[in-house]
Chain A
Amino acid sequence: MALLRELVAGMRDFLANAGAMSRFFARVLVISPSGFLRPRLIVDQVYNAGALSLAIIMTSGLFVGMVMGLQGHDLLARIGSEESLGIGAALTLLKELGPVVTALLFAGRAGTALASEIGLMRATDQLSAMEIMAVDPMRRVVLPRFLGGVISMPLLVAIFVAISIYGVQLIGVQYFGIDQGQFWSEMRSSVEIEDVREGLIKGFVFGVACSLIAVYEGYNADPTAEGVGRATTRTVVISAVSTLVLDYIVTAILL
């Protein structure tokens, strides 16, 4: 009985949370055009969310690509078509692995930074202070961070995929000796422009989701040290799960 009650309460919490986040999202969307009136703030946040994530994205991309090279070559060597490594790797990276891994890294690197920063502003009453000064913290704090994340994500995805394809090439061509021309020409002949578009659309969708979750959790954090910590944790968990769920939905729509 108690279990059932807990379950119902959990469901209600979940629904309340989803509803509050939707309302928050709507508010951000409504004021988002005004964000571009102050591009300075957005540039700062593109720096925080994007430029500072560059190192982790590029390193991870290179290694993901090299692993794909090793595993892909091993798999394809068993069926005797190593030349197809380029196609397989490029499509996997563009359509799935690139956007998803970038989003997970983004949630870990930029999402937590956003959530804890805004949460700390809440805990130290900076947001209330802004309201007293008639500065809307939604416009001044939340919106630029959201837009910065949304702008950064597709760019990060593109960088990740480009670097990881270089990593695949490094293993496939330099290490295993697949013919360079064959590698590139087979890849080019079967990768369509739609595949690139799919990757960038996913990057954009994940960017919206991860940035929204980060700013929402930070903005609504309990104004305590513990609350900020919890908000950061929740950001990573919710971002990761919703990225994977959204990935399925977007793939189903686009295919």
Chain B
Amino acid sequence: MRQSRAIDVSTGLFVLLGLVAIVFLVTQISNREFSLTETSFRLKAQYENIGGLKVGAPVKMAGVTIGRVEDISYDMKLLKAIVTMRIDKRYNEIPNDSDASIFTAGLLGGQYIGVSPGGSEEYFKDGDQFQFVQDAIVLENLISKYLFSQADKAAADKNSSAGASATAEPAPAPKE
């Protein structure tokens, strides 16, 4: 009887340790956050283009992560992307005229939402929507814009100096 109780205690200890380890892995290592009380509130923003923004991307204010992107969907009526963010309850005094822009961390890094505070006296409440947003900068658009502007410039140069000798300016012509 005594021996069997010792076995029970160490078996129980082992099972408990295993469960604690699983809970540790699920809550501390992975990005799933569990809490019994609601410790966050939601904000929404509409974008024309979110670039490579992903669910789980950080929402930052002055570089401090204050929340995460919870959901990204496309609204067929507005023809815009709806991004839902979950913001930590601690940061519940964000002026309601703040703007939310999509930035890229580093040259090839992931994208995040940067919130820069406005000057309003009133704060965002749960479910509010950002009035001022700025879309993601898509590298391809930027490059094509640059190339086309160069091409336009080259064409303009050619027109203005028609007849005159070539100025040997190596304007990068767009391919095709």
Contact = CB atoms under 8 A, between A and B. Distances in A.
Interface in A122-154: 152, 154
A94 B29 CA distance: 10
12 contacts: A50-B14, A51-B14, A54-B17, A94-B29, A155-B21, A156-B18, A158-B22, A188-B31, A191-B30, A192-B31, A193-B30, A196-B29
Contacts of A50: 11, 14-15, 18
Interface size class of A (residues with CB under 8 A): 20 to 34
B24 interface: yes
A161 interface: yes
A215 B98 CA distance: 66
Interface string B128-155: 0000000000000000000000000000
Interface in B71-94: none
Interface string A28-60: 000000000000000110110011001000000
Given A50-B11, A162-B24, A192-B30, 14 more contacts: A43-B8, A51-B11, A51-B13, A51-B14, A54-B14, A154-B22, A155-B17, A155-B22, A156-B18, A158-B21, A185-B65, A188-B29, A189-B58, A196-B22
Instruction: Indicate the size class of the contact surface on chain B.
Output: 20 to 34
B7 A44 contact: yes
B156 interface: no
Given A47-B10, A50-B11, A189-B58, A165 B29 contact: yes
B28 interface: yes
Interface in A186-203: 187-193, 195-196, 199-200
Interface string A168-207: 0000000000000000110111111101100110000000
A188 B28 CA distance: 7
A96 to B, nearest CB: 15
Contacts of B2: none
Question: SS class of chain A's interface: helix, strand, loop or mixed?
Answer: helix
B126 to A, nearest CB: 24
Contacts of B24: 158, 162
Nearest to A192: B30
Contacts of A208: none
Interface string B25-49: 1101111100000000000000000
A50 B19 CA distance: 13
A190 B56 CA distance: 9
Contact of B30 (A158, A162, A195): A195
